[in-house]
Amino acid sequence: MKTFANCSFAPIRKSEFDFFVRSAGHFRLVRIDRGSCKKAHFPEIFWAVDGAGYFMLNGKQHLLKPGYVWYYPPGSEHFFFPAGDFFEYRWLTIDGVSARTLFEGLGFRPGARYAGECPETLFRKLELEIASPERKRRLASLSLAFSILTLAVTVTRRTGSRKSCAEEARLLMEADFPDPELNVARLAELLHVNRVSLSRSFSRLYGTSLSGYLAGRRIQAALDYLKNTALPVSEIAAMCGFSSVSYFSRVISRATGRPPGKIRF
């Protein structure tokens, strides 16, 4: 069983907001791992994805299985480890002077609660946003964290099997195509799969390549903006994930036979 650790941290430790997303990640521990033990000043949730893990609270051992969320309030001793061959989970932390108040206001209590299938797409989007110091992206990461926390305190029915990597890749591209750093390599990294294997499974399922699908999604959005808004071409290019206006113009010209400025007239 392969182990992995994928995480993102905010580039700041102080914020103008009373609370902010401090970190988020996706880990898989295996039986030989000793687990994690630390005392943290910030609140943290763990959303079990696969396998099982033991969490310690007030000297007692608790089992966390997929679909359950564990909450450690600020100032508590964090101690958990795999319960069997492996334990896969996603996590996020919130920091700031009002972080504890936020969790208490949402109804979080120390320990486990059933929350349904882990919203992995939201966690992946959060990982993309969190590392940026830009204010708008810090606000975007906070919005994603709120969505995750809201789901965590809302009991839902158990769903069917997890989505395939190809389906997850499509959802990521639909949500994050405006990010110019999103590409096939980044998708494979976020999904913890081999790039070639992901590309093949995506092509089999959807009849097109990953790069082709992503390019098509960006072009579709750009054409919608060009035809239905008066936004500057440079702004549309940035909103649709193109790294430069010149590249945007070349792509649109190849796709339509006309430069961007001619499409809206």
Residue 136 counted as domain residue = yes
Query: To the nearest whole percent, how much of the chain has pLDDT over 70?
Result: 91
Same domain, 243 and 149: no
Number of domains making up the chain: 2
CATH number for 36: 2.60.120.280
Q: What is the pTM of this model?
A: 0.62
pLDDT tier for residue 157 given thresholds of 50, 70 and 90 = very low
> What would the mean pLDDT of 50-59 be, rounded to a whole number?
88
pLDDT tier for residue 73 given thresholds of 50, 70 and 90 = very high
> What would the mean pLDDT of 46-73 be, rounded to a whole number?
90
Q: Please say which residue of 120, 136, 160 terminates a domain.
A: 160
18 CB-near residues (< 8 Å, 6+ apart): 96, 97, 98
Tell me: pLDDT of 3 over 80: no
Same domain, 15 and 104: yes
Same domain, 144 and 220: no
Q: What is the mean pLDDT of the chain?
A: 86
Per-residue pLDDT, 159? 46
Q: What does the pLDDT look like over 202-257, one tens digit per residue?
A: 999 999 999 999 999 999 999 988 988 888 999 899 889 998 999 999 999 999 99
Residue 192 counted as domain residue = no
Same domain, 118 and 224: no
pLDDT tier for residue 74 given thresholds of 50, 70 and 90 = very high
Residue 196 counted as domain residue = no
pLDDT tier for residue 70 given thresholds of 50, 70 and 90 = very high
Same domain, 233 and 144: no
> 96: buried, middle or exposed (CB in 10 Å: 19+, 13-18, 0-12)?
buried
Same domain, 97 and 25: yes
pLDDT tier for residue 24 given thresholds of 50, 70 and 90 = very high
Per-residue pLDDT, 162? 60
Same domain, 70 and 140: yes
Least confident of 26-35, 65-74, 121-130, 165-174: 26-35
Residue 195 counted as domain residue = no
Q: Which two tokens stand for residue 185?
A: 């390599």
Q: Which two tokens stand for residue 69?
A: 């969320």
Residue 207 counted as domain residue = no
Same domain, 140 and 221: no
Q: Which two tokens stand for residue 12?
A: 């700041």
Q: Which two tokens stand for residue 235?
A: 């702004």
Least confident of 30-34, 107-111, 171-175, 202-206: 30-34
Same domain, 21 and 130: yes
Residue 184 counted as domain residue = no
Same domain, 123 and 11: yes
Least confident of 56-60, 122-126, 131-135, 152-156: 152-156
Residue 238 counted as domain residue = yes
pLDDT tier for residue 156 given thresholds of 50, 70 and 90 = very low
Same domain, 27 and 91: yes
CATH number for 257: 1.10.10.60
Domain that holds residue 234: 215-263
> Strand 44-57 vs strand 36-39: parallel, antiparallel, or unpaired?
unpaired
Radius of gyration of the chain (CA): 21
Tell me: pLDDT of 160 over 60: no
Q: Please say which residue of 144, 160, 176 terminates a domain.
A: 160
Residue 183 counted as domain residue = no
Q: Please say which residue of 145, 160, 175 terminates a domain.
A: 160
Same domain, 132 and 252: no
